[in-house]
Structure 1
């Protein structure tokens, strides 16, 4: 078996030509073949083959999730999670390995699919870290648990794996680790202690009116006007009802109504996304949003709207003691000047479901994916952009080195 990574100095992991080529091959394959949330069938097969070729025990969990186990003597059990799903985005990166994949949403709509959030990077880097630990088993002791999780973008995947008996079928870990590529300089690491990523709630709201001819509004209850008032009024929830020292975001993501310009439609539909950094703020904002929706409907003499919860993301909280230990290891590996503390993010992740359900601590950090030229541009491609294209070599190498350094520290500390 070829060692995918060699260490030439204490705390310095370098990729040789062969592992660097294998890492690039994995990444480009995954990037070219993205799949929508909870539909990652090809990806799951690819990962299963790769893990079994490396000598790991595997099983499927949560539909399209893949779990790998490597037992290497006495010691702690350490889990590392990577997400595997793509997004309904048409890629515009111009990369030679750009995605041309298509997928079907749950409502039957056919859409283009792209790895626009870097899940292909996360997955390839975890595979690279696995191959290192397989080849260097004399340097650590314990049980490695790798979790290739589907459906992060819809908050369905972690929950599906837990409900499918993840913690009854896999060894329960002492800690769960994870990482995410972000539009910051390649080679850098950002970390947050405590509450790191927001709670998020998404709703679909169906506004009901009464249809009529556009020339006879007196005979209608106009759900478009109702929806316009709701959208406007919701902007006051954060600005006028929340203490300025607390953070929240209320976003109306879609507004659909009608089929023809001279028909007042019978109904309209809006979707909402609400984010907060603590449960008290979440409850207050959700209560206010619901009140506004119902009150505006009553003011319009409309039937009560139908409010459906689409999904909920948990709060992502990093354990302080474990975070300090992992951050120290990342600094030793990449250089302390490359590892920086950051502020909590209003983005959301279902990673938090895994440590919470297992009753163990979790640590989640971010690594850079853009080169200096990209970051100096007028419009920096963010996650979920059709132009999101991480710089390949440094980004992948940093992801592998960070994962290996964190895992090795956890095996020693567990």
Structure 2
């Protein structure tokens, strides 16, 4: 079997013949470079494509724009650092927004103390233990992708284009990275006995090196946010300064000291250093009047101002109350709270997870690092089978080989119950 055929078979696993036929038609209509009949990768992929993509990107910065430097952060592993009050949080959020408008649909924000209210439209992973689980998944996913790449028969440009066309490219934002080494320990694998388990003291350092040096070819791009660039601060990874200089695009933000209050405030200025170059170039930061909290391209909520109005607080309260009711099935008759009888226990757990997170659609790559049952995570193929079980029970429908849309009647029913 040709490598491209193997990839296609993997993408359509669990589909009926009719679903496969509809999917093939979708691929042809959208000119996705799967090999179908006489179609060739060479005919659909431009070898000159770069990580940022060959076509003009929505929201890309015009050539003469003084903020054009932000575009460099989209496809490179990036470190943004600066002292207290330099503007790291607001600037990081603007970089994330540019990634979103440039076509990076999956953005994982690893924020130990983050809240859903401040991170709308991204995949928020909060809490040090949960972040450690994601880090473990990330390194495993990196190994799986390199194994698949070696067996694919594709050149690098074709492989990265394949990742894009199958929506497997994503960004990872490591917020408050300075605190990780002191608070994160390696999770124990499920197949290890407690008395034999010894966490790797360099777990955070290994993840940092993996994300810093191996991520670009697999489109798993990290954005680290820290207070300094020293290796002692960055995951206590001593002796890797040359590797950092060669692999990371670095952005330093400068703070001013208020002459009256003596407090640090953002100066709107900074410096950027490209990977492998020693020169720091001055940059100007975008002028912002609010912190961006919503990263959805459609139907965003008003952004956070210095003084949020009561209406926004009310909306946030209603959102929290809705999540609480979904979590504990409050105010619902017992019959409505009972599981769907035709689903297996694992599929029922997945259905309840989609209900709690109020999703209208689900992508395997987004669900995989977040969904688990009794500590167990699932492979892409296992999730695909669970997705297909929901489809067979008329609870969802396939949008593509990795994505299902939750049946509208089911979501409407949940809304009426709430």
TM-score, normalising length: structure 1: 0.25
Per the normalisation by structure 2, the TM-score is 0.25
